[in-house]
Chains A and B, each alone.
Chain A
Amino acid sequence: MKVFRDTQNSQDRTNREGLKGWLNPTHYGWERLSYWLMRLTGLFLLVYFVGHVYETSNLVGGVNAWNSMLELTQTTWGHIFLILVIGTSTFHSINGIRLIFAETARGLGKPGRPDYPYEAVSLNNIQRSGIWVALILAAAAMLYGSSILFGGE
Chain B
Amino acid sequence: MVRNIQDAKRGFMRESTVMKIHYATGLAALFTVAVHIMMRLIMPFSMSLEYENVVANYQNVLYALLLESILVLISIHGFNGLRVMLLELRQDAMWEKFVFLFTLAAMLVVIGYGTRTIIIVNGLNL
Contact = CB atoms under 8 A, between A and B. Distances in A.
A76 interface: no
A60 B92 contact: no
A16 to B, nearest CB: 7
B46 A53 contact: no
Range for the number of chain A residues in contact with chain B: 35 or more
Range for the number of chain B residues in contact with chain A: 35 or more
Contacts, number: 82
Contact of A22 (B5, B71, B88): B88
B12 interface: no
B39 interface: no
A110 interface: no
B78 A12 contact: no
B91 to A, nearest CB: 5
Given A153-B45, A153-B46, A96 B110 contact: no
A128 B109 CA distance: 38
Interface of B is mostly: helix
A49 B33 CA distance: 12
B40 to A, nearest CB: 9
Contacts of B81: 42, 46
Interface string A43-85: 1011001100110110110010011001000100000000000
Contact of A153 (B23, B44, B51, B90): B44
A50 B110 contact: yes
Interface of B: 4-6, 19, 23, 26-27, 30, 33, 41, 44-46, 49, 51, 54-55, 58, 71, 74-75, 78-79, 81-82, 85, 88-92, 110, 113-114, 116-117, 120-121
Among all A-B residue pairs, the 3 with the closest Cβ atoms: A46-B78, A153-B44, A63-B51
